[in-house]
Structure 1
Amino acid sequence: MARKMALPKIGVNMTEAVITKWLVQPGDTVNEGDPVIEAETDKSTQEIYAAESGIVAKLLADEGQTVECYSDIMVLVDEGVEYKEDDDLCVNGEEPKAQASDPAVSAPDYAAEPAVVPAADVAGTRVRISPLAKKIARESGIDFRLVSPAEPGGRIVKADVLRFLQSGGAAVCAPAGAAVPEAEYEDVALPNIRKVIARSMHASLSEMAQLTHSFSFDATQVMAYRKIVKENAEKFGLANITFNDIILFAVSRVLLNHRDLNAHFLGDKMRYFTDVNLGMAVDTPRGLLVPTIFGANKMSLNEIAGAAKDLAKQAQEGTISPDLLVGASFTVSNLGTYGVEHFTPVINPPQTGILGVNNIQTKLKMVDGEAVPYQAMGISLTYDHRALDGAPASRFAQELCRTLENFMALLAK
Structure 2
Amino acid sequence: MATLVKMPKIGLSDESAIIAKWYKKKGEQVKAGEVLFTIETDKSTFDVEAEADGTLLDVFFNEGDEVPVLTDVGVIGSEGEDISSITTGQGKPESQAATQKLQIPEAESIKPEVSSKETVEKAYPDLAEAEENGIIKISPRARNLAERAGVDFRFTSPTGPEGRIIERDILALIEKGPVFTPAAKEEYLKSGLDLQVSEGTGVGGRITTGDLQKNSEEQKVEKEASMAAKGLEKQETVQKSVIEGPQQALQYKEVKFTNIRKVIARNMMNSLSTTAQLTHHATFDATEILAYREKIKAAGEKYGLENITLNDMVLYAVSRTLLNHPDLNAHLVGETMMVFENVHLGVAIDTERGLMVPTIFNANLKSLNEISREVKELAEQCRKGSINPDYLKGGTFTVTNLGPLDVEHFTPILNPPQTGILGVCSITYKPRLVNGQYEYYPAMGLSLTFDHRAVDGAPAARFLKDLKTNLENFSLLLAR
TM-score band, normalised by shorter chain: 0.7 to 0.9
The alignment yields a C-alpha RMSD, in angstroms, of 3.6
SS of match in other structure, 1:320: coil
* 1:247 CA displacement: 0.3
Q: Which has the higher contact order (CA 8 A, sep 6+)?
A: 1
In the alignment, what sits opposite 1:93? 100
1:272 aligned partner: 339
Say if 1:4 and 1:76, in contact at 8 Å, map to a contact too.
yes
Asked if 1:259 is matched to 2:266, the reply is no
Matches of 1:18 and 1:87, distance apart in 2: 20
Residue 72 of structure 1 contacts residue 91 of structure 1 at CA under 8 Å; is this kept in 2? no
Decide whether the 8 Å contact of 1:72 with 1:92 is kept in 2: no
Q: Which residue of 2 aligns with 1:61?
A: 62
Q: How far apart, CA to CA, are the structure 2 residues paired with 1:41 and 1:247?
A: 31
| SS of residue paired to 2:301 | helix
Task: State the Cα distance separating 1:354 from its structure 2 match.
Answer: 0.8
Q: How does 1:8-87 map to 2 (within 5 A)?
A: 8-30=8-30, 35-49=35-49, 55-63=56-64, 65-70=65-70, 73-74=73-74, 79-80=79-80, 81=82, 86-87=89-90
In the superposition, relative to structure 1, how do residues 155 and 61 fare at CA in structure 2: closer, same or farther (>3 Å)? closer
1:303 pairs with 2:344: no
Unaligned runs of 5+ in 1: 102-110, 116-126, 129-147, 158-179
Query: Aligned-pair distance for 1:248?
Result: 0.7
The structural deviation recorded for 1:353 is 0.8
Alignment check: 8 A CA contact 1:149 1:156 kept: no
2:277 matched to 1:233? Answer: no
Alignment-derived partner of residue 137 in structure 1: none
Call closer, same or farther: CA 1:187–1:194 in 2, change over 3 Å: closer
Give the Å deviation of 1:323. 2.4
Specify whether residues 15 and 205 from structure 1 end up closer, same or farther in structure 2 by C-alpha distance, changes over 3 A only. farther
Structure 2 vs 1, CA of residues 5 and 299 (structure 1 numbering), >3 Å: closer, same or farther? closer
Q: How does 1:362-373 map to 2 (within 5 A)?
A: 362-373=429-440
For residue 226 of structure 1, give the secondary structure of its aligned residue in structure 2. Answer: helix
2:316 to 230, 245, 249: 249
Flag the 1:187–1:70 CA change in 2: closer, same or farther, 3 A. Answer: farther
Structure 1 residue aligned with 2:234: none
Cα contact 1:44–1:319 (8 A) shared by 2: yes
Contact 1:26/1:59, CA 8 A, preserved across alignment: no
Tell me the residue number matched to 1:191: 258
Point out 4+ residue stretches in structure 1 off by more than 6 angstroms: 1-4, 75-78, 82-85, 148-157
State the Cα distance separating 1:272 from its structure 2 match: 1.6
User: Which residue of structure 2 aligns with residue 135 of structure 1?
Assistant: none
Note the C-alpha offset of 1:394.
Answer: 1.0
Q: Give the Å deviation of 1:202.
A: 2.2
Query: More displaced, 209-218 or 29-38?
Result: 29-38
* Larger helix fraction of residues: 2
Q: Which residue of 2 aligns with 1:320?
A: 387
The separation in 2 between residues aligned to 1:87 and 1:302, in whole angstroms, is 55
SS in 1 for 2:458: helix
Amino acid at match of 2:21: K
Q: Is the 8 A contact 2:139 2:166 kept in 1?
A: no
Gaps of 5+ in 2: 103-127, 129-137, 150-156, 170-247
Q: TM-score, normalised by structure 2?
A: 0.63
Q: Deviations 1:121-160 (Å, cap 9, x if unpaired)?
A: xxxxxx99xxxxxxxxxxxxxxxxxxx9999786889xxx
Fraction of identical pairs, as percent: 47
Q: Residue 403 of structure 1: SS of its match in structure 2?
A: helix
- How far apart are the structure 1 equivalents of 2:253 and 2:70? 37
- Distance in 2 separating the partners of 1:231 and 1:39: 43
**What amino acid is aligned across from residue 9 of structure 1 in structure 2?**
K
Give matches, 1:150-165, under 5 Å: none
Shift of 1:390: 1.2
Tell me, yes or no, if the aligned pair for 2:271 and 2:416 is still in contact at 8 Å: yes
Relative to its length, the structure with more strand (as a share) is: 1
Aligned to 1:222: 289
- Contact persistence 2:56–2:74 (CA under 8 A): no
> Which one-letter code corresponds to 1:55 in the other structure?
L
Shift of 1:378: 0.2
Distance 1:242 1:232 in 2: 14
How much does 1:337 deviate? 0.4
Which digits, 9 at most, give the CA deviation of each residue in 1:246-290, with x for residues without a partner? 101111111100001111112232222211111111112222222
**1:333 equivalent in structure 2:** 400
How big is the shift at 1:98? 3.2
Rounded to whole Å, the distance in 2 between the matches of 1:72 and 1:208 is 42
Shift of 1:338: 0.6
Q: Please give the per-residue CA displacement for 1:313-336, whole angstroms capped at 9, x wherever unaligned.
A: 222222322222222211111110
Alpha-carbon shift at residue 371 of structure 1 (Å): 2.7
User: What is the TM-score with the length of structure 1 in the denominator?
Assistant: 0.73
Instruction: Give the Cα separation in 2 of the matches to 1:360 and 1:55.
Output: 58
Report the Cα distance in structure 1 between the residues aligned to 2:437 and 2:427, rounded to whole angstroms.
22
Question: d(CA) in 2 for partners of 1:195 and 1:48?
Answer: 26
